Amino acid sequence: MASARRRGTPAAVAADAVALADQRLSGASPSPGLVGAAAMEVHGVSKAFVDPHGHQLLALVNVDLAIETGTFVSLIGPSGCGKSTLLRIMGGLDQPSTGQLRAPAVTGGSGGGGARSAFVFQDYGLMPWLTVLDNVAFGLKMARVGKTERRERARAWLARVGLSGFERAYPEQLSGGMRQRLSLARAFVTEPDVLFMDEPMGAVDPQTRLLLQEDLLRIWEETRKTVVLVTHSLDEALLLGDRVVVMTARPGRVKLDLPVDLDRPRTVATTGGPAFAALRNTLWGALRDEVARSMEFS
């Protein structure tokens, strides 16, 4: 409890920083309200990091956000605004300094060898000593799924991402795009309720990125999993998302929650339409000043 924190400790410094930021922002417009039947909700979440010398860095302040079950939500904002920190908090990899997280789709149990949540990162996170097939099946192995079943499910997902025939290959033998498709297969094979994606296509070339976006669109249409994506790309955020959440410069908070009213299914060709262009202009209008402000701190 806060009352039990000793003054001068990292926890106390972080709490003081959050409280000060909350006071400064008390006159700001409120973030979008929370809704019912959500896969996860964060309410009043702030996060401060403290180095060993007691210096604090406030990453997030007073964030309210609800992620509805079965939706695809894109998070976008300037570099260093706390997008990845918020993603890690929602996924249970980090704890907020203050505020509440309600995430039944992440913390509950699903049974049947399924995982409640999975992560896909920019750096692939593959195990170089395992074959392609064994990389995909690894999560199922940890969930104690039988060898025959986990290999059947792994092969099925390799087929869905176009990697049939590479089962015995190793990650180093694959291109960057193939490795990222392998990461997608490894995440989806565990049948997560929520998939957290942190710049998953940031390391590939632009052409491969377009193909991966269409792969992800197709897979999401088939599975309708709850997905939270962190990206710096306006087009990617709009093409993939049902909503795009714009965050302010550090300390990050929600500035705009933009519904993406574009028909599904979508393809890369969707980005060429006038409705898409209008949404992009709205998004950049909300983001431009925040990017400029973040550059003042860099």
pLDDT of 297: 66
Amino acid identity of 115? Answer: A
pLDDT of 52: 83
Spatial distance between the Cα atoms of 188 and 181, rounded to a whole number of angstroms: 11
pTM (2 d.p.): 0.83
Element (H, E) at 297: helix 274-297
Helix (H, G, I), strand (E, B) or coil at 153: helix
pLDDT digits (tens, 9 = 90+) for 205-221: 889 899 999 999 999 99
Helix (H, G, I), strand (E, B) or coil at 62: strand
Decide: 171 and 182 in contact? Cβ < 8 Å: yes
Q: Which domains does the chain have, with CATH numbers?
A: 2-110+193-297 (3.40.50.300), 126-191 (no CATH)
Q: What are phi and psi of 239, to 5 degrees?
A: -65, -40
Indicate the pairing of strand 226-230 with strand 56-68.
unpaired
pLDDT of 61: 96
Residue 109 has pLDDT above 50, yes or no: no
pLDDT of 295: 85
Question: What percent of the chain is predicted at pLDDT more than 70?
Answer: 83
- Other residues' Cβ atoms within 10 Å of the Cβ of residue 213: 20
**Burial letters for 76-110: b for 16+ Cβ neighbours within 10 Å, e otherwise?**
bbbebbbbbbbbbbbbeeeebbbbebebebbeeee
pLDDT digits (tens, 9 = 90+) for 41-88: 999 999 999 888 888 889 999 999 999 999 999 999 999 999 999 999
pLDDT of 149: 96
Spatial distance between the Cα atoms of 147 and 144, rounded to a whole number of angstroms: 9
Average pLDDT, the chain: 85
pLDDT of 3: 41
- Flag the least confident range among 176-180, 238-242, 283-287: 176-180
pLDDT digits (tens, 9 = 90+) for 151-208: 999 999 999 999 999 999 999 999 988 998 999 999 999 999 999 999 988 878 889 8
pLDDT of 298: 58
- Flag the least confident range among 173-182, 244-253, 272-281: 173-182
pLDDT of 37: 64
Decide: 103 and 40 in contact? Cβ < 8 Å: yes
Residue 21 has pLDDT above 60, yes or no: no
- CA geometry: angle 212, 218, 223, nearest 5 deg: 120
Amino acid identity of 215? Answer: D
Decide: 136 and 154 in contact? Cβ < 8 Å: yes
- Reported as a pLDDT band with limits 50, 70 and 90, residue 250 is very high
- Residue closest to 189 by CA, chosen among 181, 178, 177: 181
Paired strand residues for 43: 100
- Reported as a pLDDT band with limits 50, 70 and 90, residue 105 is low
Place of tokens 């695809």: 72
